[in-house]
């Protein structure tokens, strides 16, 4: 069965890293014997908004919903904003429209990539931050516009936690932890919240405990978000899967990305009941767009996450095999010092990194 992917390259380096990803994904699929992916390119982003007055082309959202998955390069330009100063962000609306509640943020250290911690155990960092992506404090953001500005003297944002979404998130978390354990990881699941202060977070933890009672084979733990931030610097190797609220996950995943080199390695999957969106977690970096300086690896690893998702959705293990080929090529490329992105002070731009990965896939 041929997979259909809605492709949004977006703004800035989003175009560069999307092109690199599609090249690598196509090559890996060929080698794994997987059916070629059919792409439906959709124009969206701040640049599109500046030119056309809308942030996504007419019918674009519907075409995203008709696809098996969505791949997004990057969206946003500092010079293009709404009148209230917020960014152009159609991807937040896509999260809401398609219920992409499970934001999967892998964090992995690679040999010869920068490691910010001196402890030798930092070389073994391999964990996942699972960020709820439709509610929390982001409920007040671009989609719902729940912020209240009172007499130009006070602003109030709404934080929302619902049982229906949180139950799905926690069930996803336990299944993810179980899959990680089957692949040789610890599979320990940590609930990260602020349940000692906020009723919303106590509710989040209460639902976690209810789902934990249904999944007693998975080891669990708890951490308040401030303590978790401390522990990600002090002992990140002790964690495997962390599940948390939207804003907390946004902040913690960037912190964790900094431990293993930077946002150029920060892959992301956002999974719902019927579709998934895959994108690098970094921004559009318009200051280097078109200069062949961007690190495409976050996007390429997001492409591997997309292939894993298509494996499960379409029950075609050849897509999963293609994902494993990409992940193995990245591992080997760093181990042999063949991947040296400029982001890390190396001598390889977008095209050189892509070409080296193609060589690794061919060997």
Mean per-residue pLDDT over the chain, rounded:
95
Please name which of 195, 229, 191 lies closest in space to residue 211, comparing C-alpha atoms: 191
Question: Can you name the CATH fold of 1-98+274-363?
Answer: Isopropylmalate Dehydrogenase (3.40.718)
pLDDT at 140: 78
Query: Is pLDDT of 69 > 80?
Result: yes
CA distance 92 to 69: 16
Query: Is pLDDT of 141 > 90?
Result: no
* ∠ Cα 129 304 335 (to 5°): 85
Q: What percent of the chain has a predicted confidence (pLDDT) above 90?
A: 88
**Tens digit of pLDDT for each residue in 21-44?**
999 999 999 999 999 999 999 999
pLDDT at 143: 55
Measured N-to-C along each axis, helices 246-259 and 225-234 cross at an angle, to the nearest 10 degrees, of: 10
Question: Can you name the CATH fold of 115-259?
Answer: Isopropylmalate Dehydrogenase (3.40.718)
CB burial of 313-350 (b: ≥16 within 10 Å; e: otherwise) equals bbebebbbbbbbbbbebbebbbeeebbbbbbbebebbb
pLDDT at 245: 98
Query: Is pLDDT of 147 > 70?
Result: no
Q: Same CATH topology for 1-98+274-363 and 115-259?
A: yes
Structural domain boundaries in the chain: 1-98+274-363, 115-259
Stretch 90-97: mean pLDDT: 92
pLDDT at 2: 86
Query: Is pLDDT of 145 > 90?
Result: no
pLDDT at 82: 86
CA distance 107 to 268: 10
Q: What is the pTM of this model?
A: 0.94
Confidence of residue 146 (pLDDT cuts 50, 70, 90): low
Q: Which letter does DSSP use for residue 337 in this model?
A: T
Q: 348 vs 138, which has greater pLDDT? A: 348
Burial class (CB in 10 A: 0-12, 13-18, 19+), 248: buried
pLDDT at 144: 55
**Tens digit of pLDDT for each residue in 201-256?**
999 999 999 999 999 999 999 999 999 999 999 999 999 999 999 999 999 999 99
């Amino acid at each position: 069965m041929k997979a259909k992917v809605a492709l949004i390259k977006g703004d800035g380096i989003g175009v560069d890293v999307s092109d690199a990803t599609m090249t690598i994904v196509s090559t890996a699929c060929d080698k794994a014997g997987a059916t070629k992916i059919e792409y439906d390119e959709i124009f969206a982003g701040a640049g599109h908004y500046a030119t056309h007055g809308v942030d996504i082309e007419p019918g674009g959202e519907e075409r995203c919903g008709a696809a098996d998955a969505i791949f997004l390069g990057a969206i946003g330009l500092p010079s293009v904003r709404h009148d209230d100063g917020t960014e152009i962000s159609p991807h937040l609306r896509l999260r809401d429209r398609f219920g992409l509640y499970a934001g999967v943020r892998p964090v992995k250290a690679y040999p010869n990539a920068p490691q910010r911690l001196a402890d030798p155990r930092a070389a073994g960092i391999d964990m996942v931050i699972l960020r709820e992506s439709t509610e929390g404090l982001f409920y007040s953001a671009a989609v719902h516009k729940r912020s209240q500005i009172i007499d130009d003297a006070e602003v109030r944002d709404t934080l929302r936690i619902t049982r229906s979404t949180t139950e799905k998130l926690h069930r996803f978390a336990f299944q993810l932890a179980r899959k990680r354990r089957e692949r040789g990881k610890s599979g320990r699941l940590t609930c990260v919240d602020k349940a000692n202060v906020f009723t919303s977070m106590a509710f989040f933890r209460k639902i976690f405990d209810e789902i934990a009672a249904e999944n007693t084979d998975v080891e669990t733990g708890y951490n308040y978000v401030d303590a978790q931030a401390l522990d990600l610097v002090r002992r990140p190797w002790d964690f495997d899967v962390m599940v948390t609220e939207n804003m907390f996950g946004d902040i913690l995943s960037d912190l964790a990305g900094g431990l293993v080199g930077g946002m150029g390695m920060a892959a992301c999957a956002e999974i719902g009941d019927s579709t998934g969106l895959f994108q690098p977690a970094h921004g559009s970096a318009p200051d280097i767009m078109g200069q062949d300086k961007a690190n495409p690896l976050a996007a390429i690893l997001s492409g591997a996450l997309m292939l894993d998702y298509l494996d499960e959705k379409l029950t075609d293990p050849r897509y999963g095999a293609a994902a494993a080929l990409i992940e193995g090529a990245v591992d080997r490329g760093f181990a042999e010092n063949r991947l040296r992105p400029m982001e890390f002070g190396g001598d390889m731009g977008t095209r050189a990194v892509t070409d080296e990965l193609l060589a690794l896939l061919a060997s």
